[in-house]
Amino acid sequence: MTTSRAVAPVKTDAARAKNRAKPRGSTDGDSGRIRILGAHQSIAGGLSRAVDRAVETGCHCLQVFTRNINRWDVSPIDPADAEAFRQAVTAAGLSLVVAHDSYLINPASADPTLRKKSIDGLVVELERAALLGIPWVVAHPGAAGDQPRAEAVQRAADGIAAALAHTRSLTTGILIETTAGQGSCLGDSFEEIACMLQTIDAAGHADRAAVCLDTCHVFAAGYGLSPKQELDRTLAAFDAAIGLERLKVIHANDSKRERGSRVDRHEAIGQGKIGPDAFRLIMNHPRLAHIPLILETPKEGADGKPCPDQDRGNLATLRGFMAG
Ligand SMILES: [Zn+2]
Ligand SMILES: [Zn+2]
């Protein structure tokens, strides 16, 4: 490593192993059970700055955008920056990094130009993630617009399968994210996502396609998360439609809006309509024990500027819910 971007201190293998084996504040005491908790972090100032932000806030997993998500055109990643990022992730002992795709991407689009751009966009997302050593790109399945819903679901699935086919040599895959079903957005039911996965699996990409469940989105889409019977029912529905073994990441967000509102507005953990009881149940549910949780909660402090204390507080709240 020769560039000046390598800011992370060099650690010995033993130090790294220690770091990884004992992520800060993540065990529940007596049982030594580990929950992998982290947050989405900004890449402002360079990709590796996201890793610094993860370390500063006590994350042991991380989500990033690998590019400006509001633009189609994207400049390639400098291989030295990719190397610095991978080294920073290793030095920080992060258990998992995932990427989130651009919000412009809509593989379900009935407009051939936009759909082609979207498939190409997914390919770029997969290639960038692979270069950064990131195993999964979290992707929204898109929106139907005026199309019949079933047609849009099929188009989305075919589009995702096409992007995976274009990147056959890569191991990086796509996590289809559950959505709130706002507007004509697809993916608000487990059955709809299962339908997409069937097509993707049939095209031969089963090992590179799985699911990210967003707590705010499923709640806004109508699924219950508390009391325990409601969470059990929601997980049973996921298991029946998709299979819990395909749940790879949970986005842990409370919701500003009520259950079934179909409005996607994230809130700090325990302070929204989902509430603390649901997150306590999620943190201690045996079927979710091994699934990493990633916050996408508001980051602004009282002055409206990003403040690391927000993530620190939300992570502490989640850790506090773990039964001792
Ligand atoms: Zn999310
Ligand atoms: Zn959301």
pLDDT in tens, 290-305: 999 999 999 999 899 9
Cα distances (angstroms) measured from residue 270 to each of 36, 265, 305: 19, 14, 22
User: In the prediction, which pLDDT does 16 show?
Assistant: 40
| DSSP single-letter state for residue 178 | P
Residue 9's H or E segment, with its range, is none
Residue 58 counted as domain residue: yes
Residue 117 counted as domain residue: yes
**Residues flanking ion ligand 1, Cβ below 5 Å:** 214, 251, 296
User: In the prediction, which pLDDT does 27 show?
Assistant: 52
Alpha carbons 243 and 195: distance in angstroms, whole number: 12
**Ligand 1 center to residue 15 CA distance, Å?**
33
User: In the prediction, which pLDDT does 33 show?
Assistant: 58
**Ligand 1 center to residue 62 CA distance, Å?**
13
Please check whether residue 227 is in contact with residue 275, taking contact to mean a CB–CB distance below 8 angstroms.
no
Alpha carbons 219 and 96: distance in angstroms, whole number: 25
Please check whether residue 152 is in contact with residue 186, taking contact to mean a CB–CB distance below 8 angstroms.
yes
**Ligand 2 center to residue 265 CA distance, Å?**
6
Structure tokens at 236: 């049973």
Residue 21 counted as domain residue: no
Alpha carbons 53 and 89: distance in angstroms, whole number: 11
Residue 11 counted as domain residue: no
**Ligand 2 center to residue 297 CA distance, Å?**
9
**Ligand 1 center to residue 109 CA distance, Å?**
21
Residue 156 counted as domain residue: yes
Structure tokens at 227: 């009391």
User: In the prediction, which pLDDT does 307 show?
Assistant: 95
**Domain enclosing residue 91, as ranges:** 34-320
Residue 222's H or E segment, with its range, is none
User: In the prediction, which pLDDT does 323 show?
Assistant: 79
pTM listed for this prediction: 0.90
pLDDT digits (tens, 9 = 90+) for 191-230: 999 999 999 999 999 999 999 999 999 999 999 999 999 9
**Ligand 1 center to residue 93 CA distance, Å?**
23
Mean per-residue pLDDT pooled into runs of 10, the chain (324 residues): 38 41 44 81 97 98 96 95 98 98 97 98 98 98 97 98 98 98 97 98 98 98 98 98 98 98 98 98 96 97 93 98 82
Please check whether residue 219 is in contact with residue 279, taking contact to mean a CB–CB distance below 8 angstroms.
no
Q: Count CA atoms closer than 13 A to 247's CA, side-chain side.
A: 24
Residue 270 counted as domain residue: yes
The count of domains in the chain is 1
**Ligand 2 center to residue 8 CA distance, Å?**
31
Please check whether residue 196 is in contact with residue 176, taking contact to mean a CB–CB distance below 8 angstroms.
yes
| DSSP single-letter state for residue 207 | G
Assign residue 138 the CATH number of its domain: 3.20.20.150
Ligand nearest to the CA of 251: 1
Residue 129 counted as domain residue: yes
Burial class of residue 188, CB neighbours in 10 A (0-12, 13-18, 19+): buried
Residue 20 counted as domain residue: no
